[in-house]
Copies of this chain bind each other. A is one copy, B any other.
Amino acid sequence: MAGLEDVARAAGVSASTVSRAMSRPDMVAPRTLERVRAAAAELGFRANPAARALTTGRTGYLAMVVPDLHNPFYGGVISGAQQAAERRDARLVITVTDGRQDREAAALRDLAGQVDGFALLSPVSTAAELAAARRRAPVVVVNRRVPGVTSFTADTPGGLARIFDRLEELGHTDVGYLAGPPGSWMDRRRRAELRDRAARRGLRLHVFGPVRPAFAEGAAAAGEVLASGCGAVLAYNSLLLLGLLFEFGRRGVRVPADISVAAADDMAFADLPGQPISALRVPAVELGLRAADALRAMVDGGGSSPRPASRILPTEVTLTGSLAAPPSRG
């Protein structure tokens, strides 16, 4: 492994000059810069991040704290964050919490000082805890809004509302919502939005769950949904809807003739030819990208608080044939 010193020798300058050539090229004379760069390239020099971290106090690592890797939404977010990190020449450390508060706290505790900042996906900690964490290291949260903490969310409640409206137009009176992860902030928001709307319009909202947002849970909930007599059901995410559809299929329940369906994200259905399922296009990758970018900016900008912003990205609604008028009763 070639070090700063080796490059310096090869270029006929001092180590400090090489260091500056790498990190603040404008402080180095053009000709010197060129020589140093050539030497560095030739020797395949790569700065030792540990040494750099030791002096600068910045590690170049960003922590992503994620509840669950089976949920495709998080996959998207992480991919986006990865892109951003790579561009800004940082690395991503990931920790899985299984949605448990203690593991989330442990991650925050154990990784403090080892990473430059935290991106928390759908964190379950209290707002107070998160605010406290933010005081020790830059923090952004995704898929939840926390007062005083920079956050990135998709407007899925708004999107769901649009779908709900469409169902009302179609004449539905009983709409189901298969709720997402217990304790989830986002699920509460979606539920609240739907409940609100239902109340205002005089429709009945049936809430099922909350359940872990997994295929099997969707399938398991299908019976209850059908028994409730809802003419339509919205699912917290596409994994759940997939489960519902699977079980509907096995039972010979027809969509949308017997029941209308939609999901609050299109992770599974995104590239489906003909888009047969109503769902929201949620910009998971972009959320990750923005979050990591913001985080890195906070880190570069001295780590402190550039007034926390709360960014809400729009979702796009795909209204398709999976929605229809309710079956005539009796």
Contacts and interface: CB of A to CB of B under 8 A. Distances in A.
Contact of A72 (B1, B54, B70, B270): B70
A219 B271 CA distance: 10
B216 A271 contact: yes
A46 B113 contact: yes
B91 A92 contact: no
Interface stretch (A140-148, A182-190, A244-252, A310-318): A244-252
A132 interface: no
A107 to B, nearest CB: 9
Contacts of A269: 215-216
Contact of A69 (B50, B79, B268): B79
B273 A220 contact: yes
A75 B239 CA distance: 15
B82 A76 contact: no
Contacts of A110: 46
A61 interface: yes
A51 B55 CA distance: 9
B59 A78 contact: no
Contact of A245 (B70, B94, B216, B246): B246
A173 interface: no
A75 B68 CA distance: 8
Contacts of A245: 246, 249
Given A70-B76, A76-B70, A245-B249, A61 B93 contact: yes
A70 B78 contact: no
Contact of A216 (B75, B96, B111, B272): B272
A28 interface: no
Which of A51, A245, A270, A272: most chain B CB closer than 10 A? A272
A94 B245 CA distance: 33
A161 interface: no
Contacts of A48: 54, 113
A236 interface: no
A115 to B, nearest CB: 9
Interface of A: 1, 46, 48-51, 53-54, 59, 61, 68-70, 72, 74-76, 78-79, 82, 91-96, 110-114, 214-217, 219-220, 242, 245-246, 248-250, 267-273, 276
22 contacts: A48-B113, A49-B114, A69-B72, A69-B76, A69-B79, A70-B72, A70-B75, A70-B76, A79-B96, A82-B95, A91-B95, A91-B111, A91-B114, A92-B93, A93-B93, A214-B271, A215-B269, A216-B269, A242-B242, A242-B246, A245-B246, A246-B249
